Amino acid sequence: VLGFWPHFLSVNPSRGLMDEQFVVLVQNAPPGSELTVHSFHQCDEGHSWNAFAHYISDAAGSVNVSGDCSLGGTYSGIEPMGLLWSLRPVPGSKPGLRIRKKNVQVPMLVTVSVYEGHRKDGFSDLVPLASVLVERWYMAPGVRRIPVTEGGLTATLFLPPGPGPFPAVLDLWGSGGQLMEYRAALLASHGLAALVVDYLTTKNIKETEKMTIFQYIETAYKYLEEHLQILGSRIAMLGLSFGTSVTLRMAAYSKIMKVTAEENICPSHDDPRVAEEGERPESSKPLEILPRDLSLPIDPLKKVDVGRLQCPLMLVVGEDDQNSAAQESASDMKEMMERAGNSHLLTILSYPDAGHLIEPPYTPHVRASNFKPAGLKQMFLWGGQTVAHSRAQEDSWKKILLFLRVNLFGGTRPGAAPLSRL
């Protein structure tokens, strides 16, 4: 009986950055034992998520999740980090959930356990053979989190360890607004200062109308440029979804901003003046709406003129993006830049079967979730197939970091910036 065996379960490292791989090892089981390795996480909003995989111990009574084949569960095959990226809401959860780290000053806690037999459900009623609590951090030791309100901004600055000055990234999320800090915190953990701004739901724009979105972004840029711990001549912009339209427009037309490099995830070159000056489109569909359909065909009169760009540009495209016409936009931008003679500045990373929400590595994939653009809660279809999407997140993040290091640190070798470790 497995319960009488002194099982040993280890996760190494048990405390690490969110984009760092770990090794899960089960030892001292009888050879040929059927085992289920399970992960459990309760997110910041109180919802429970789990993942699990079925294994058979080898002749030494061991299972190495990094090298052994899962026979079934929330993932199959050899998947070292499947216990994270295949996390899904536990049965009975409300629909439309998505994991987004709200408080980056505390870790994402994941309990990894091993159970006897090949289990599929009822884990909360079972006693595990062994369990380990794992910490996944977005902020490395020494990273500083600084709330910013100067100039009417609603923003957070993350500074890497050390005195600086540091190259910086201006981080813009999409149409959901609010401050989503986890990507900026992770960038700072890799040696880049990062300022994430709420540019849609902040009172200065939404209520008082003291500034346009573009004046607001220029204010954020000037804050970075003048900061004593920032290299003001080395500032990049990173945009996701609607944020890509804003970053492209600022890089192409702003007389104040001199962007060193630009990174766009799920890109769109629709000129965001349309979104600022006009009304948001409405959908008659009660459950899942498809904004992608609303952006096609691309109106030639409403495009940002990317032929004006003078800085390196990287586009990250999910070919199964159901939220925006990212693939069509990237192709059109390439043609525009070829005609303008600046296509040498362009890099496109395109991922088959990846969806819209390409996030840092091992973030659980959701094909659809609740979303509140302009405060209106609806179910949005993002797209993506879980395995392919997770591969895209891992691969693109490495290339995003390399792109930013090469262009911001002025070097051409990988790893020009030191990596922070826990």
List CB contacts of 7: < 8 A, sequence separation 6 or more. Answer: 26, 27, 28, 29, 114, 129, 130
Strand, coil or helix: what is 70?
strand
* Catalytic pick among 41, 54, 356, 389: 356
* Catalytic pick among 39, 113, 241, 396: 241
Give the integer Cα–Cα distance in Å for 415 and 361: 18
Q: What are phi and psi of 254, to 5 degrees?
A: -65, 135
Q: Which amino acid appears at position 201 of this protein?
A: T
Give the integer Cα–Cα distance in Å for 268 and 60: 53
**Number of helical H runs and strand E runs in the chain:** 9, 20
Give the count of beta carbons closer than 10 Å to the beta carbon of residue 237.
28
* Catalytic pick among 86, 270, 321, 389: 321
Cβ contact 51:88 at 8 Å: yes
Is 321 among the catalytic positions?
Answer: yes
Cβ contact 90:59 at 8 Å: no
Is 353 among the catalytic positions?
Answer: no
Beta strand 144-148 with 130-137 is unpaired
Residue 168 to residues 114, 223, 275: CA-CA distances in angstroms?
42, 11, 27
Q: List active site positions.
A: 241, 321, 356
